[in-house]
Amino acid sequence: MQKIAVLVSGGGTNLQALLDAESAGRLPGGKIVLVIASNPTAYALERAKAAGIEGIVVRKKDYNTQQEFDSAMLNALLSRGIGVIVLAGYLSLLGDPVVKAYPQRIINIHPSLIPSFCGAGYYGLRVHQAALDYGVKVTGATVHYVNEIYDNGKILLQKAVEVQEGDTPETLQRRVMEQAEWQILPQAAAMVCERLNQEQKEEAQG
């Protein structure tokens, strides 16, 4: 069983989708045990509390250097035996030490079909505004492994969503969340947990 940490920055709708999936038995190889927020006012912390899950704040500006921040983040994860990290609307870039400590164990959800509308600066409504400005007819969401570059890791799952006439960034964001993000993020988390559990089983058998 993999212990999962979910990293958040805002409302935590994707965290809720993960919690709902776990309750429904759709996360059989993993258990969410920790929520780490990048700011103390993130509503996601309330969701964690309601679900009886430990929620903590690890905020970049509370540390003098990137190194200190990375160290605090790693300590929070390793001390709780975390095996899988899910970035669910987490707006900070994880430092090299964290990424190296969790190879192929960190996943992120991005609200577009990568490689479109991704990379530094593309987050939240900005992604959907860019899709509308460009005039694409199909957008969607992508779950990918995390490396040291924004939205650059190997893709795990993608789901397409149609852009409708008269869409605003807000209506498009909602549809992408409901039809894509909330479905493929729990699915991808389950896939990663299953893979790691299988690898550990094979290792144990020698």
Q: State whether residue 118 is helix, strand or coil.
A: coil
- The alpha-carbon radius of gyration of the chain (Å, integer) is 17
Which residue has tokens 């988390």? 189
Phi-psi label, residue 145: left if phi above 0, alpha if psi -120 to 50, beta otherwise: beta
Distance CA 45, CA 105 (A): 23
Distance CA 7, CA 12 (A): 9
Q: State whether residue 59 is helix, strand or coil.
A: coil
Q: How many CB atoms lie within 10 A of CB 31?
A: 15
β-pairing, 2-8 vs 30-37, is: parallel
Q: Which residues are catalytic?
A: 110
For residue 204, which amino acid is it? A
DSSP assignment, residue 181?
Answer: I
Roughly what angle, to the nearest 10 degrees, separates helices 182-205 and 13-23? 60
